[in-house]
Structures are given as C-alpha cells and as structure tokens.
C-alpha cells in the first residue's frame, strides 16, 4: 500500500516533517532483464518535509528490494539485493519537468516511486561467480 502525504492536514496540525515506512509491490513491467523478477515487495522509507513558505514538499526515499532469476551471462540461479536512494520535490500545482506536482493538498507518491525504481534497477542480473569474473 502506497501512502499519500496529506499536506493540508499536516499544515493544519503544524506538522512539517515526518517519515513513512511502507512496502509495495513493484509492477513487473518496470523490469526488462530476461528471466529476472522481484522477490517479494519493495521496502521504502520516505523522509519528507514541507517548506512553510511555499508548501513545496521535499522528499528523500530509500528503496530496498531483491531481484532473483537467471544470471544474464550464464543462466545460473542468481539474486541481488539492491538499495537505492533518491530525492524529489513536489510543488503544489506546478509542473516544470524537473519536479513533481501535486494537487488538492495531497502528495501522491506513485509516479516518484515508479521513477525511482526504474533508476534503481540494474541493466542485468549476475550470479556471484560472474559478478566476480567481471570485476577482475
């Protein structure tokens, strides 16, 4: 379940920062490594802060997930734990490309999570011997 940040309610209660911990199921279509899949849910920890002058919401996300499947080089069984961090700003009403917009006083995280996940994904999955072989 992906939570939202209810900016209006937070400001009304004078809460200007917080942390959300949640997990969500990744869409399989973000992953285009052959024979690889997500093992379980993506774990997310999101720190957020509301800027009081313009109600821009700044967010820092940390994603952790595991990929499993066949090694992209030798097809042996492989799995990889991945941790990825990213920052974003959510601007009320605005949308100038660099930033995410939000409307109705609520920040919806879905698009940011999906984008972060796409950036977090490796281009292939390697088993340990192949990963070692590539390093040498």
Considering the complex, what minimum distance in angstroms separates the CB of residue 14 from Zn ion? 54
Considering the complex, what minimum distance in angstroms separates the CB of residue 26 from Zn ion? 23
In the bound state with Zn ion, the residue whose beta carbon lies nearer, of 76 and 103, is 76
CB atoms within 10 A of CB 38: 19
* Cα–Cα–Cα angle for 134, 131, 34, rounded to 5 degrees: 105
* Cα–Cα–Cα angle for 34, 37, 39, rounded to 5 degrees: 160
Residue with tokens 């340990």: 128
In the bound state with Zn ion, the residue whose beta carbon lies nearer, of 104 and 129, is 129
In the bound state with Zn ion, the residue whose beta carbon lies nearer, of 73 and 114, is 73
In the bound state with Zn ion, the residue whose beta carbon lies nearer, of 5 and 69, is 69
Check: CB of residue 38 under 8 Å from CB of residue 70. Answer: no
Residue with tokens 């390093």: 135
Binding site for Zn ion (CB under 5 A): 71, 73-74, 76, 127, 130
Considering the complex, what minimum distance in angstroms separates the CB of residue 110 from Zn ion? 34
Considering the complex, what minimum distance in angstroms separates the CB of residue 136 from Zn ion? 14
């Amino acid at each position: 379940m992906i939570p939202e940040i209810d900016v209006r309610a937070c400001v009304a209660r004078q809460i200007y920062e917080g942390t959300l911990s949640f997990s969500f199921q990744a869409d399989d279509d973000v992953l285009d490594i052959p024979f690889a899949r997500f093992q379980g849910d993506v774990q997310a920890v999101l720190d957020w802060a509301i800027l009081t002058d313009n109600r821009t919401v700044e967010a820092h996300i940390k994603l952790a997930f595991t990929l499993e499947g066949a090694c992209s080089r030798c097809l042996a069984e492989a799995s990889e734990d991945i941790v990825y961090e990213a920052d974003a700003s959510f601007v009320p009403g605005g949308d100038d490309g660099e930033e995410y917009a939000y409307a109705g006083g609520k920040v919806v995280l879905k698009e940011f999570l999906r984008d972060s996940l796409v950036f977090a994904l490796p281009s292939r999955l390697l088993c340990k011997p192949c990963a070692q072989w590539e390093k040498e």
